[in-house]
Amino acid sequence: MIKILVMVLSRLIASSLLLMPIAGLANSPALPSEDSVYFELPVVLSATRLEQPMLDTPASITVIDREMIVASGAREIYELFRMVPGFQVGSDNGGVHTVTYHGLGDQFSRRMQVLVDGRSVYTPAVGLVEWSNFSVDLDDIERIEVVRGPNAASYGANAFLGVISIHTRHPTVEQGTQLKVIRGGNGIEHYRARYAGSAGPLSFRASIGHRADDGFDRRHDSKRSTLGNLRAEWLIGSTDRLEFQAGFNDGRRQDGFIGDPLQNPRAKADSTHFGMLRWQHVFQPEHELSLQAYYNYFDRKETYGSGFFIPTPSPVTQRRYDLELEHRFSPHKHWRVVWGGSARLDQVDAPLFLGVSRPRLQNHLYRLFSNVEWHLLPALNFNAGVMMENNDITGTDWSPRLALNYRIRPRVAIRASISKSVRTPSFFENNVDWKMPIAGGGGATALIFLGSDTLQPEKIIARELGLIASTANGVFRLELKAFRNSLSQVISTSGGAPFTFINKSSATVEGLEGQLQWRPTPQTRFILSQSNGRTTSDAANLVASTPSATTHLLGIFDLGNRYDASFSFTRVSQMEWLGEGNLVPSFRRVDLRLARRFGARGNEGQIALIVQNLMERHIDFRDQNRLGRTGFLQLELPL
């Protein structure tokens, strides 16, 4: 551990960008108030469910704000996470994308909790995050808070490696009608219409769109989707707020490989929709109660098998019902508390994967959670949190966390934390019973996967030392952390067909990472993310899955005369994806964006040219996926 920390720290110190803010902090006189800077430290919610300045959070958090989202030139949400220290992004095909933290990832992204306005969107069958099936568009997002590290104390079992919390834009942010068109190479099409308005205490935003692309070269993986989204808010007096959200995404996707008897070329028809209702009552400042209920629905129809196997329909239907109560209050001027509970029902119908004798599986989940923030001294802050969960698969689990933050100066703080988190096995891991009929076999079947029905949850103990600092004028902001995460009971497959999932391995992931933001002028901004780490394990594939270094640099420029420009540079060292992924050699990537705003001030349109992956063609997730250069035009018209 010490050796790797020294190595990484030396690399960071060698960067003049890092030397500059450290020197500025060391020589800074008495610091002015928070109101005197133009580049504020963000206030975040995702670490503890309490609003906290980043100096007081018990976990490392990266904020992707609206300016970064636009400047990235990304077309889809999953692409944004290249900007997060230690994150890796890959695509099993043009419609299945994965996001992971320090490796340990396969095509399912099953160790990451993803929330959209507090609604969990991972699917219960395999724990997969269906990024292509979101009903939320990039233009709907105001900011994303990424908790880099386990956070089951706040959000439960699937917050195993981290939490991605997506916050959509309030309906009053942009009023009126907007049309957006994106066209480019590789069959890229994106059309969107949005209207936002208000009438007295009611405000709303509705959007509908279509997006498509042809996936990777020489792959059977194009996708077409139609999606819509509604968010409405009704203010009831000065103390109550009622919010309603709904959305859908219907699409057609291609998948599979020629000559593969199981993963044959095929079409998938996906249909998703959701509804969410949230009531919030404010008793007084620092005292509020909220009640949230939501429903997620997912349906997929596809056919498996060819050649050796008889083609077999594989319908999958998933439903989630969730009810959550949350109470925040301050019993004393030095104390803040949030506590609550939730009940959830997950249902999965998948007769091919789970066996025709038990076509529907259910999991009841009950939670109680709490976090206490205690300012022992003006400069010393203590956080203690815990989550208790009970589910039908693994029983009762506890996930505690303790953290101490000390402000060395008004804008410089150090943090020490330790936490324990778990990941509940998915239905597929624990209960799979997948048989395929053999062609010409007279009704005989081949057993592909068989679940043990006795899996235990994966476990992780995370230790972290962190530093966050900002110069008095807000020009620089620096965040560093050293981490050591110990994983046990890691779930993987055993032997050959029939494959069985078992609690097989343990691993230790350790390293140093950080992010530097530099705003030399109000018109220019740079965000540098760097992560260096390694995994040691009794499983060679877990060791190989962690890249030794990842780097991302985003530059944002206001060129004047209503021109904007940005670039992003990404470098990922060699890594090997788990599951169906392959070895990916070290690669570099450069994206460019140039935009021109036009029209009346306050109601501007925009045209932008985006070119992605200007550097070498490289492998993405698996050998067959070759990522080349792509360009597209983007036009936004206010009406």
Q: Using one digit for the tens of pLDDT, what is the confidence trace for 174-208? A: 889 999 999 999 999 999 999 999 999 999 999 99
Start-to-end CA distance of the chain, whole Å, equals 57
Farthest-apart Cα atoms in the chain, separation: 85
Summarised one tens digit per residue, pLDDT across range 11-37 is: 433 333 333 333 333 333 333 333 333
From 120, 147, 140, 142, select the one nearest 46 (Cα to Cα).
147
Instruction: Give the residues across from 236 on adjacent strands.
Output: 240
Q: Are 188 and 212 in contact (CB under 8 A)?
A: yes
Tokens of 108: 């399912």
227 pLDDT tier (thresholds 50, 70, 90): very high
119, 129 contact by CB (below 8 A): no
Distance in angstroms (rounded) separating the CA atoms of residues 470 and 63 = 15
Residue 412: which of 17, 41, 5 has the closest Cα? 41
Give the predicted TM-score (pTM) of the model.
Answer: 0.93
Closest CA to 110 of 439, 506, 457, 473: 457
Distance CA 537, CA 544 (A): 10
pLDDT at 555 over 80: yes
Q: What is the pLDDT of residues 444-503, one digit of tens each?
A: 999 999 998 899 999 999 999 999 999 988 899 999 999 999 999 999 988 777 889 999
Q: What mean pLDDT comes out for the span 569-588? A: 95
Domain ranges of the chain: 2-638
Number of H helices, E strands in the chain: 7, 39
One-letter amino acid of 532: N
- Report, as an integer, the average pLDDT of 526-536: 97
Indicate the residue type of 274. Answer: F
Q: 2-638: which CATH architecture?
A: Beta Barrel (2.40)
Distance, CA of 105 to CA of 92 (rounded, Å): 11
Tokens encoding 551: 């780097």
Cα–Cα distance between 140 and 228 in angstroms, integer?
11
CA dihedral 64→65→67→70, nearest 10 degrees, is: 60
